[in-house]
A and B are shown apart, each in its own frame.
Chain A
Amino acid sequence: MAAGKDIHDSERDKVWSRLMAAAQTGDQHAYARLLHDVVPYVRAIIRSHHRTADRIEDIVQDVLLTVHRVRHTYDPSRPFVPWIAAIARRRSIDGLRRWRRTDMAELFDQQAYETFADPRAKRESETSDRVAGLGDAIAALPAKQRQAVEMLKLREMSLAEASGKSGKSIAALKVNVHRAIKALRARLGKEVR
């Protein structure tokens, strides 16, 4: 049984290796087939680190983008599986770090929206209602910052997706969204006061 699995794995590796070698010469069909074929394998690796479906899919896409970027580093005389597995594991761990940072920065407290026992809280709530509105504040942002906020915060796209869609680098998107949040905080905070 184990021997059968080994033969299957070795055959699969040979097929993937051939497809990648063809992809390196510019064969788009071979490349598309390879990417299709490796997705379940990549997803299985990522699943060992992540639970939610959207995060898993986000990292699968991150892995595919990385494969595309580093496809010239694959040596067809070597097995393909360790190469793709190393990329999948690294991106999966990078994803863990990224979300840990995000989770630490974000708070979720349902009651915080509903507590009005403290009159000061109610007053603040009413004051915030008077604020011209978040939409206006976002509309007033510079175009790059507005696009970053809309994609990453309002439409909840992943960095990889937003990068692919906008053509902007991940680093640039992070900087723009950071500046936008800072600008919104400054503007809304001023109006509340």
Chain B
Amino acid sequence: METTEQLITRLAAQARPVRRLRPPMVRAVLWLVGMGGVGGVAIALFSNLDVTIGRLSEPLLLAELIGILGTAIGAVIAAFYLSVPGRSSRWGLVPIPFFVLWMASSGDNCYQDWLVHGTDGWALGESFACFRFILMTGVPIALSLLLILRRAHPLAPIRVAAIAGLGVAAMAAFLLQFFHTFDITFLDLAVHLAAGAMVAAGSALVGLSRRRGGFMPPARPM
């Protein structure tokens, strides 16, 4: 049976130089800039940018975009901070005001649509295409983010992966706005949320699998 003294001697003998992680904010900004570049190219090449820019004159849509982008950036930054030991858990609160703004403006948008169109406001618009879009963009973005977060071997992997998942879902929803140039219905919003929740839950599951020796290895030596 190894004593604590023996363990210390063994660990000290194994001490090799390590490459320090850069501060969480630097890592988060680098990742966001990289993703922003890829997303910007995709928007420039494939989206209906003129229509989207025209729609920005609607204050409600502008508020929604700020909410979505704020949620994405806030949650990604929070995930980088929470992945490192000793950082305040209050970082997890950063995306919440933006998330509330997103939900409120989106919900109000649906409500206005419902007032104008009546029961048609509950109809399913282009929801399935949006659902597919969020999942297809969300999954590769989530994988790249989780791979980078994995370097910190987070002590609370489920929490980190879940908040990262929220950021990714918001990022996919933000990109969707450039390809989704019409007002959404309540059902559309529900489908968007379901797709986002699937991305976030999938990410949390990745965090969980870390405990079982899966995608994210445990902090203890294997």
Asked if A70 and B85 sit within 8 Å, CB to CB, the answer is yes
Q: Is the C-beta of B90 less than 8 angstroms from some C-beta in chain A?
A: no
Closest Cβ neighbor of B84 among chain A residues = A73
Asked if B221 and A65 sit within 8 Å, CB to CB, the answer is yes
Asked if A160 and B220 sit within 8 Å, CB to CB, the answer is yes
Q: Nearest Cβ in chain A — how far from B212, in angstroms?
A: 6
Known A-B contacts A64-B11, A160-B220, A169-B222; the reply to A155 vs B17 at CB < 8 A is: no
Cα distance A167–B222 in the bound complex, in angstroms: 7
Q: Is the C-beta of A66 less than 8 angstroms from some C-beta in chain B?
A: yes
Q: Is the C-beta of B116 less than 8 angstroms from some C-beta in chain A?
A: no
Interface of A is mostly: helix
Total count of chain B residues near the partner, CB < 8 A: 34
Question: 1/0 per position for B66-100, CB-CB distance to A under 8 A?
Answer: 00000000000000000011110000000000000
Asked if B21 and A72 sit within 8 Å, CB to CB, the answer is yes
Asked if A90 and B11 sit within 8 Å, CB to CB, the answer is no
Point out which of A23, A29, A35, A71 has the most chain B C-beta atoms below 10 A from its C-beta.
A35
Asked if A171 and B213 sit within 8 Å, CB to CB, the answer is yes
Q: Is the C-beta of B205 less than 8 angstroms from some C-beta in chain A?
A: no
Cα distance A30–B155 in the bound complex, in angstroms: 25
Asked if B7 and A64 sit within 8 Å, CB to CB, the answer is yes
Q: Is the C-beta of A153 less than 8 angstroms from some C-beta in chain B?
A: no
Chain B residues near A85: list those with CB within 8 A: 86
Known A-B contacts A35-B12, A70-B219; the reply to A83 vs B156 at CB < 8 A is: no
Asked if B155 and A161 sit within 8 Å, CB to CB, the answer is no
Q: Is the C-beta of B57 less than 8 angstroms from some C-beta in chain A?
A: no
Closest Cβ neighbor of B85 among chain A residues = A86
Asked if A28 and B12 sit within 8 Å, CB to CB, the answer is yes
Q: Is the C-beta of A87 less than 8 angstroms from some C-beta in chain B?
A: yes
Q: Is the C-beta of B10 less than 8 angstroms from some C-beta in chain A?
A: yes
Cα distance A23–B139 in the bound complex, in angstroms: 38
Q: Is the C-beta of B18 less than 8 angstroms from some C-beta in chain A?
A: yes
Known A-B contacts A90-B156, A169-B213, A172-B213; the reply to A68 vs B11 at CB < 8 A is: yes
Interface of B is mostly: loop
Cα distance A56–B86 in the bound complex, in angstroms: 21
Q: Is the C-beta of B14 less than 8 angstroms from some C-beta in chain A?
A: yes
Point out which of A29, A61, A155 has the most chain B C-beta atoms below 10 A from its C-beta.
A61
Asked if A31 and B11 sit within 8 Å, CB to CB, the answer is yes
Closest Cβ neighbor of A65 among chain B residues = B220
Known A-B contacts A66-B219, A68-B14; the reply to A86 vs B4 at CB < 8 A is: no
Chain A residues near B15: list those with CB within 8 A: 23, 26-28, 31, 68
Chain B residues near A5: list those with CB within 8 A: none
- Cβ < 8 Å to B, chain A residues 129-156: 155
Q: Is the C-beta of A49 less than 8 angstroms from some C-beta in chain B?
A: no
Q: Nearest Cβ in chain A — how far from B16, in angstroms?
A: 5
Q: Is the C-beta of B119 less than 8 angstroms from some C-beta in chain A?
A: no
Question: 1/0 per position for A11-42, CB-CB distance to B under 8 A?
Answer: 00000000000011111110110011001000
Closest Cβ neighbor of A62 among chain B residues = B220
Cα distance A24–B8 in the bound complex, in angstroms: 15
Q: Is the C-beta of A170 less than 8 angstroms from some C-beta in chain B?
A: yes
Asked if A69 and B220 sit within 8 Å, CB to CB, the answer is yes
Pick the contact of A31: B12, B21, B212 (CB < 8 A): B12
Closest Cβ neighbor of A22 among chain B residues = B15
Closest Cβ neighbor of B2 among chain A residues = A161
B-side residues, CB < 8 A to A, are 1-2, 4, 7-21, 23, 84-87, 152-153, 155-156, 212-213, 218-222
The 3 closest A-B pairs by CB, nearest first: A171-B213, A32-B12, A83-B86
